[in-house]
Amino acid sequence: MKKFLSVFLLLSFIFVLVACGGSDDASSETDGGNNEESGSGDQGNDTGNVSDDQIELRFAWWGGQERHDRTLEVIELYESKNPHIKITAEYSGFDGYFDRLSTQFAAGNAPDIIQYGGNLNDYVSRDVVLPLDQFVGNELDISLHDETMLEAGSFNGSLYGVTLGTNAWGLLLNKTLFEEAGVDLPSEDWTWEDFTEIAVQLTENLDGIAGTEYFDHNGFGIFIDQKGKVLHEDGVLGIDEQDVVDWFTLWQDIRDTGAVVLPEIQAASSTTPEQSMIVAREVAMQLIPSNQLGAYRNATQDELVFHVHPLMDGRSGIALRPSQFLAGYSETEHPEEVAKFLDFFVNDLEATAILGNDRGAPVNSEVRENLIAIANETDSDIFAYIDFISRTSDSPYVPNLPGYNETEALFKTTSEEIAFGQISVTDGASQYFTELVEVLERNR
């Protein structure tokens, strides 16, 4: 009996150890190809059916549940059309996605197909991204892609990534809250002064809900464009310290009216639409990229409208931007197959219809027309907004700063230090600027 007990205890101890050690696996599930359940995001795994003449490609992306479902459906479609290909999906939320990728690159076993954001340049400069030039016109057709979006995925004259969609930042307004507060929706040519006034009115008329969130580094990029400057060109800054001071002063003034949400609420909020402040009714206005409109609308009963950013001197500062890129791993064993899959993902009418607007408005003009023809209400709103921006704004697309992870963290920390009153606007701006120059120096 005693022996039995000790064996039992030992086994359960091992079980606990294994259970603790295995927690990472929850984020990367393998998708079992022909398995019917996989489309719903519940993973039934059957990885053991790769035969010798089959080619296996690994595909990594981040996103919410909706994107996972749509992407898995496209993978299934591709596999049914190309029975010799098996695609293993490695998907997760955004947190930790690039950290895991870094380790995979270091170990030399990164996925063959990888979704990048505006930080693609950081990886191209480290030679881990597959150049696509040799496949253009063969496996990969880019003839109908927007010129600017091809440029966005090109570095030093070579194409590295296909753009998955076009995006534009804008303000998400909670119309239900506007009505509760008895505040009219703003016009299309509203200014920062109008914005502040509306935020104040909302805050006063709504109990415990702030008018707006703080726009952080994405808003800063827009603000710099509104001032007629360019944030940087190839890592060379086009701004000076005074621009940073102006940005933080602008927000300090709005904050002084009480219309900005408490910094501790913003610090605890998440970038995931379902856990955002506007969905939680902490704020009535929030800055979001257009492709996320659908996810926000699905997360709340409130009516949300997508509106242009407040203007300064007549400029909205909004540029059409690539949302994300799909690119290959430079060490992949099957570069042609990777290129074929990229082509399918952005050009195939059936696949792009499944993917919809979730990664932004398609960059292939034929695909886009097809989507506009079958668009639902949210998609129509997004296309209308993109169209509005392309007609009214001449702001150039500025890629993210090099060393994106670090420069973004630096801006966020500085913003928090100022918002919590730990440092003055001028000292904070000066500290940010000095450290920004250092980071850019290191990433040259």
Partner 1 sequence: MLQKRKNYLIAYMFLLPWFIGFFGLVVGPMISSLYLSFTQYDLLTAPQWVGAQNYVEMFNDRKFIASVKVTTTFVVIGVPLQLIAALFIAMLLNKGLSGIGFYRTVYYIPSLLGGSVAIALLWKNIFGMNGIFNDFLGIFGIAGRGWVSHPDYAIYTLIALATWQFGSSMVIFLAGLKQIPGELYEAASVDGANPFMKFKAITLPLLSPVILFNLVMVSISSLQVFTSAYIVSEGSGGPANSTLFYTLYLYQKGFSFFEMGYASAMAWLLLIVIALLTAIIFFSSKYWVHYEYGGKS
Helix (H) or strand (E) holding 155: strand 154-155
> Stretches 28-36, 80-88, 290-298, 409-417: which one binds partner 1 (CB under 8 A)?
409-417
- Tell me if 420 contacts partner 1 by CB under 8 A: yes
> Stretches 120-128, 302-310, 358-366, 382-390: which one binds partner 1 (CB under 8 A)?
120-128
Is residue 173 packed enough to be buried (19+ CB in 10 Å), middle (13-18) or exposed (0-12)?
Answer: buried
- Tell me if 416 contacts partner 1 by CB under 8 A: yes
- Tell me if 18 contacts partner 1 by CB under 8 A: no
- Tell me if 123 contacts partner 1 by CB under 8 A: yes
| 185 DSSP 8-state letter | P
Distance in angstroms (rounded) separating the CA atoms of residues 253 and 260: 10
Q: Which of 188, 208, 212 is nearest to 198 (CA)?
A: 212
Tell me whether residue 98 or residue 388 sits nearer to partner 1 (CB atom). 98
- Tell me if 329 contacts partner 1 by CB under 8 A: no
Contact assessment for residue 341 and residue 319, using Cβ atoms and an 8 Å cutoff? no
- CA–CA–CA angle 429, 434, 437 (5° rounding): 120
| Contact set for partner 1, span 210-269 (CB under 8 A) | 262-265, 267-268
Q: Which of 105, 104, 129, 108 is nearest to 119 (CA)?
A: 129
- Tell me if 270 contacts partner 1 by CB under 8 A: yes
Task: Tell which one of 1, 20, 236, 373 touches partner 1 (CB under 8 A).
Answer: 20
Distance in angstroms (rounded) separating the CA atoms of residues 278 and 260: 13
CB 129 to partner 1: min, Å: 10
DSSP lists the bridge partners of residue 215 as none
DSSP lists the bridge partners of residue 57 as 87
Tell me whether residue 108 or residue 314 sits nearer to partner 1 (CB atom). 108
> Stretches 81-89, 230-238, 310-318, 413-421: which one binds partner 1 (CB under 8 A)?
413-421
- Tell me if 117 contacts partner 1 by CB under 8 A: no
Contact assessment for residue 177 and residue 206, using Cβ atoms and an 8 Å cutoff? yes
CB 439 to partner 1: min, Å: 8
Task: Tell which one of 103, 138, 158, 242 touches partner 1 (CB under 8 A).
Answer: 103
Distance in angstroms (rounded) separating the CA atoms of residues 253 and 302: 29
> Stretches 320-328, 334-342, 358-366, 398-406: which one binds partner 1 (CB under 8 A)?
398-406
Distance in angstroms (rounded) separating the CA atoms of residues 318 and 414: 24
List all residues 6 or more positions away from 442 whose beta carbon is below 8 Å from its beta carbon: 403
Give the binding-site size for partner 1 (rule: CB under 8 A): 36
Tell me whether residue 10 or residue 267 sits nearer to partner 1 (CB atom). 267
> Stretches 3-11, 215-223, 332-340, 403-411: which one binds partner 1 (CB under 8 A)?
403-411
Tell me whether residue 95 or residue 366 sits nearer to partner 1 (CB atom). 95
Distance in angstroms (rounded) separating the CA atoms of residues 353 and 349: 6
Task: Tell which one of 95, 193, 253, 369 touches partner 1 (CB under 8 A).
Answer: 95
**Tokens for 419?**
């918002």
Distance in angstroms (rounded) separating the CA atoms of residues 358 and 219: 22
List all residues 6 or more positions away from 252 whose beta carbon is below 8 Å from its beta carbon: 418, 425
Q: Which of 208, 164, 84, 142 is nearest to 362 (CA)?
A: 164
Task: Tell which one of 98, 192, 388, 397 touches partner 1 (CB under 8 A).
Answer: 98
Tell me whether residue 11 or residue 16 sits nearer to partner 1 (CB atom). 16
Tell me whether residue 383 or residue 411 sits nearer to partner 1 (CB atom). 411
CB 405 to partner 1: min, Å: 4
Distance in angstroms (rounded) separating the CA atoms of residues 431 and 362: 40
Task: Tell which one of 214, 323, 406, 436 touches partner 1 (CB under 8 A).
Answer: 406
User: Which residues make up the interface to partner 1 (CB under 8 A)?
Assistant: 16, 20, 23, 95-96, 98-99, 102-103, 105-106, 122-123, 126-128, 262-265, 267-268, 270, 403, 405-406, 409, 412-413, 416-417, 420, 422, 431, 435, 442
